[in-house]
């Protein structure tokens, strides 16, 4: 079991929350964004590019019940300046779902430049696109790499719907400070037009009451109906990217995680960047882009000269933007409930150091009637918070009037927790986004239990040799009963029980599953696909001239063809020396101890070894800098201080917590990733010069030649070393 800490900071004698155990229900999800738990216990998950999935916890069945047309960044155009962060964002069930089968979705419209909140019906278990009823269309910009969509949908105990909406602003030209560019042609770089605008729905948390024909405005929102230059739907304003929200069902208090800007330190342009966990017992303004954290103000920067001007007054912030269509003097800014920078937090040191991506999870208390409790009987009550980047979950213990009493880590070493909700039995359901960003295919749905829970066996399914319809289960425990299920479309059927199953002649489906139960533990699952994956078009890589053996430093002419022919700009051709060791991992690899060190410092949140994620692949960094004098010192400065511009606009957060010793160790290993590798990008024909002989090369081995492009099966073959 993973190492788990339980340390309270703010009070003496606090009772620690129980560590959590994980049970992966399904993996291989594509950019999973949000989940919702239906009244019958089924789990619904939405993926960024439009899929809606239903998961049956008792059988492990996963069913695609809809695929909504959305605007989204796609692998076919990964460098697009439009549709950045767009897609299907949020899902929630109508409070009367058991009677009306209504589900709410928040998504980026595929043709219109709006993010849309709409209500749909489920008919026979499937989403009915024709049933769509539009509640809200929120106009937005899509060009110039604008970001931030929010997308959390929650209902409170009174049936009011809360929708979080991001600021729809490009954050990359403000040096990590407030994007308040007031120049005439810089609309997308000015969050005063959205978050700071009382007459705009972006950068807000909206609160409405859905009706049969639309919605009404409940009392208590920030601006009463009829107030000039305001929108009555606004409950909370001054948000940057309010990504995950939750509501205390007993008090109606709203909590949300606010993903903050990227400045690693304070300067004349404003305070360092902070992420926030916010609490709202009533409507209010939470300051962005004029105020951050515990009401730390920004100056008004003249983006034409770069010079900071007058400082914002948090008690009476003024929106001076030429694009402001709302009130000039805004409501007083409210301070954050919890706030933390990249560096160690003075106020909340248990939050640690590293990247930031704050989320608000469900409320937590002890209930003797539930099968599972994450807190002991005297553990109090409070809020779960978590961080996508830091991979941790904290318990924020609250007093009866919801003041912060203590903070404790209750789970860590997670990958990227994306959404977290509590089931009626007291267990937690979590989306783990997976190790990559954009076009991630390793997302998971994980069931979390207290440490006292005895989990079921670990299972695997194996085909019976010399049979295409017989399968057997392998288990690390022998006391369970095994039941077999077959999925076909959006339905499933039980086939039988026992350790082996033979598919009947009439059985056709997409997936075979086995479910283990012993009457004590949560069910365990294993699954095997019965479908053959649709083949992608194949790249063909041909080497000209001598092709029986090559030497280090030799020039090799190549040509790439395919049907259809790929865009040359998307092509990468590589030659890689492989030692004759009898082992080959399939690509550049870091030693196990280096991988552990990188994982401990959360560097894999933005980087992967051999393909791009948020940041460049480590192999690309190695190829770029391996011959640069003083490369380790140069890169260490970039890692420690953060920055942007070398690999694109997305800034690299400063790794303040990384020690010089660990940085030297990691960077030395990264710079050696490219040993024995040559690479050419953006050409379907040309000449590749093979690399110089690495110090570790032997007299034998082979060259691996490869060609890759998005949407194609890679070409790959080996030729002996001469």
Residue 631 lies in a domain: yes
Q: Are residues 545 and 510 in the same domain?
A: no
pLDDT-derived band of residue 39, with 50, 70 and 90 as boundaries? Answer: very high
CATH number of the domain where residue 694 is located:
1.10.760.10
Query: What pLDDT does 446 receive?
Result: 97
Residue 6 lies in a domain: no
Query: What pLDDT does 151 receive?
Result: 96
Residue 7 lies in a domain: no
Residue 15 lies in a domain: no
Beta bridge partners of 549: none
**Tens of pLDDT, residues 495-534:** 999 999 999 988 889 999 999 998 889 999 999 999 876 7
Q: Are residues 243 and 352 in the same domain?
A: yes
Spatial CA neighbour of 26 closest among 388, 419, 524:
524
Q: Are residues 444 and 513 in the same domain?
A: no
Q: Are residues 439 and 481 in the same domain?
A: no
Q: Are residues 557 and 512 in the same domain?
A: no
Mean pLDDT, the chain, rounded, equals 90
**Tens of pLDDT, residues 572-631:** 999 998 875 444 545 677 877 787 787 777 776 678 887 776 678 888 888 888 878 888
Identify the helix (H) or strand (E) that includes residue 623.
helix 618-625
Of all residues in the chain, the percent with pLDDT exceeding 90 is 69
Residue 11 lies in a domain: no
Q: Are residues 512 and 558 in the same domain?
A: no
Query: Encoding tokens for residue 589?
Result: 């690899």
Identify the helix (H) or strand (E) that includes residue 28.
strand 20-29
Distance CA 84, CA 368 (A): 45
Q: Are residues 564 and 498 in the same domain?
A: no
Helix, strand, coil percentages, rounded to 5, for the chain: 10, 40, 55
Overall number of domains in the chain: 3
Q: Are residues 39 and 62 in the same domain?
A: yes
**Phi then psi for 97, rounded to 5 degrees?**
-55, -35
**Tens of pLDDT, residues 341-354:** 999 999 999 999 88
Residue 149 contacts residue 168 (beta carbons within 8 Å): yes
Distance CA 636, CA 261 (A): 22
Residue 470 lies in a domain: yes
Give Dmax over CA atoms of the chain in angstroms. Answer: 82
Identify the helix (H) or strand (E) that includes residue 242.
strand 242-247
Query: What pLDDT does 12 receive?
Result: 28
| Cis amide leading into 289 (omega within 30) | yes
Q: Are residues 354 and 424 in the same domain?
A: yes
Domain span at 437: 20-450
Distance CA 217, CA 160 (A): 9
**In the listed set 422, 450, 478, which residue is the last one of a domain according to the structure?**
450
What would the mean pLDDT of 195-202 be, rounded to a whole number? 98
Identify the helix (H) or strand (E) that includes residue 394.
strand 392-398
Q: In angstroms, what CA-CA distances link 359 with 73, 421, 613?
A: 23, 12, 21
CATH number of the domain where residue 42 is located:
2.120.10.30
In terms of pLDDT, which residue wins out, 697 or 422? 422
Q: Are residues 468 and 401 in the same domain?
A: no
**Tens of pLDDT, residues 277-336:** 999 999 999 999 999 999 999 999 999 999 999 999 999 999 999 999 999 999 999 999
Residue 373 contacts residue 677 (beta carbons within 8 Å): no
Residue 406 contacts residue 347 (beta carbons within 8 Å): no
Query: What pLDDT does 132 receive?
Result: 98
Residue 13 lies in a domain: no
Query: What pLDDT does 700 receive?
Result: 65
Q: Are strands 459-463 and 470-475 parallel, antiparallel or unpaired?
A: antiparallel
Q: Are residues 445 and 471 in the same domain?
A: no
pTM of the model: 0.82
Query: What pLDDT does 532 receive?
Result: 77
Residue 8 lies in a domain: no
Distance CA 297, CA 115 (A): 30
**In the listed set 481, 506, 529, which residue is the last one of a domain according to the structure?**
529
Strands (DSSP E) contained in 476-554 are: 481-488, 491-497, 500-502, 511-517, 524-529, 540-543
Query: What pLDDT does 107 receive?
Result: 98
Matching residue, tokens 């933005």: 606
**In the listed set 529, 548, 567, which residue is the last one of a domain according to the structure?**
529
Beta bridge partners of 126: 123
Query: What pLDDT does 149 receive?
Result: 96
Of the listed ranges 148-162, 182-196, 437-451, the least confidently predicted one is 437-451
Spatial CA neighbour of 241 closest among 169, 158, 315:
169
Q: Are residues 243 and 97 in the same domain?
A: yes
């Amino acid at each position: 079991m993973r190492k788990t800490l339980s340390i309270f900071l703010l009070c003496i004698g606090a009772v620690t929350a129980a560590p959590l155990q994980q049970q992966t229900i399904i993996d291989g999800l594509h950019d999973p964004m949000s989940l919702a738990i239906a009244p019958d216990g089924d789990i619904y998950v939405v993926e960024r590019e439009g899929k809606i999935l239903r998961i049956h916890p008792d059988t492990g069945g996963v069913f695609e019940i809809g695929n909504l047309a959305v605007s989204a960044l796609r692998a076919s155009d990964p460098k697009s300046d439009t549709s950045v962060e767009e897609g299907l964002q949020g899902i929630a069930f109508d409070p009367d779902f058991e009677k009306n089968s209504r589900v709410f979705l928040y998504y980026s419209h595929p043709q219109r430049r709006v993010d849309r909140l709409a209500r749909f019906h489920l008919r026979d278990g499937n989403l009915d696109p024709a049933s769509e009823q539009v509640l809200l269309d929120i106009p937005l910009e899509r060009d110039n790499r604008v970001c931030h969509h929010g997308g959390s949908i929650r209902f409170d105990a009174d049936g009011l719907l809360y929708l979080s909406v991001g600021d729809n602003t490009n954050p990359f030209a403000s040096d990590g400070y407030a994007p308040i560019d007031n120049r005439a042609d810089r609309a997308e770089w000015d969050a005063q037009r959205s978050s700071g605008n009382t007459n705009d729905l972006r950068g807000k948390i909206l609160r409405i009451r859905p009706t049969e024909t639309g919605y009404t405005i409940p009392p208590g929102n920030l601006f009463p109906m009829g107030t000039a230059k305001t929108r009555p739907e606004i409950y909370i304003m001054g948000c940057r990217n309010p990504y995950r929200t939750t509501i205390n069902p007993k008090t109606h208090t709203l909590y949300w995680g606010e993903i903050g800007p990227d400045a690693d330190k304070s300067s004349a342009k404003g305070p360092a960047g902070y992420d926030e966990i916010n609490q709202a017992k009533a409507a209010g303004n939470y300051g962005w882009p004029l105020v951050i954290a515990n009401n730390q103000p920004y100056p008004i920067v003249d983006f034409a000269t770069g010079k900071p001007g007058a400082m914002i007054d948090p008690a009476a912030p003024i929106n001076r933007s030429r694009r402001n269509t709302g009130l000039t003097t805004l409501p007083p800014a409210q301070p954050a409930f919890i706030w933390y920078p990249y560096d160690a937090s003075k106020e909340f040191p248990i939050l640690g150091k590293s990247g930031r991506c704050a989320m608000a999870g469900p409320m937590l208390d002890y209930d003797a009637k539930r099968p599972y409790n994450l807190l002991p009987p005297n553990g109090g009550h409070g809020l779960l918070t978590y961080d996508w980047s830091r991979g941790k979950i904290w318990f924020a213990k609250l007093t009866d009037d919801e003041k912060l009493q203590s903070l404790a880590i209750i789970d860590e070493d997670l990958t990227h927790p994306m959404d977290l909700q509590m089931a009626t039995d007291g267990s937690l359901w979590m989306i783990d986004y997976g190790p990559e960003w954009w076009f991630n295919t390793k997302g998971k749905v994980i069931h979390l239990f207290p440490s006292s829970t005895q989990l079921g066996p670990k299972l695997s399914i194996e085909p019976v040799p010399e049979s295409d319809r017989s399968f057997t289960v392998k288990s690390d425990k022998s006391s369970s009963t095994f039941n077999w299920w077959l999925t076909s479309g959006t339905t499933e059927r039980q086939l039988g029980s026992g350790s082996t199953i033979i598919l009947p002649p009439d059985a056709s489906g997409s997936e075979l599953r086995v479910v283990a139960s012993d009457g004590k533990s949560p069910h365990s699952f294993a699954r095997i696909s019965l479908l053959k994956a649709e083949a992608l078009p194949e790249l063909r890589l041909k080497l000209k001239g001598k092709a029986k053996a090559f030497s280090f430093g030799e020039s090799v002419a190549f040509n790439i063809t395919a049907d259809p022919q790929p865009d040359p700009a998307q092509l990468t051709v590589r030659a890689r020396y492989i030692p004759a060791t009898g082992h080959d991992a399939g690509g550049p690899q870091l030693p196990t101890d280096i991988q552990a060190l990188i994982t401990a410092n959360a560097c894999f949140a933005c980087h992967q070894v051999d393909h791009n994620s948020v940041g460049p692949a480590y192999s690309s960094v190695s190829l770029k800098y391996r011959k640069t004098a003083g490369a380790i010192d140069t890169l260490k400065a970039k890692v420690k201080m953060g920055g942007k511009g070398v690999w694109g606009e997305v800034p690299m957060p400063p790794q303040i917590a990384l020690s010089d010793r660990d940085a030297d160790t990691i960077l030395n290993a990264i710079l050696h990733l490219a040993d024995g590798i040559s690479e050419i990008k953006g050409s379907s024909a040309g000449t590749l010069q093979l690399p110089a002989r690495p110090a570790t090369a032997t007299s034998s081995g082979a060259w691996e030649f490869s060609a890759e492009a998005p949407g194609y099966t890679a070409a790959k073959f080996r030729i002996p070393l001469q």
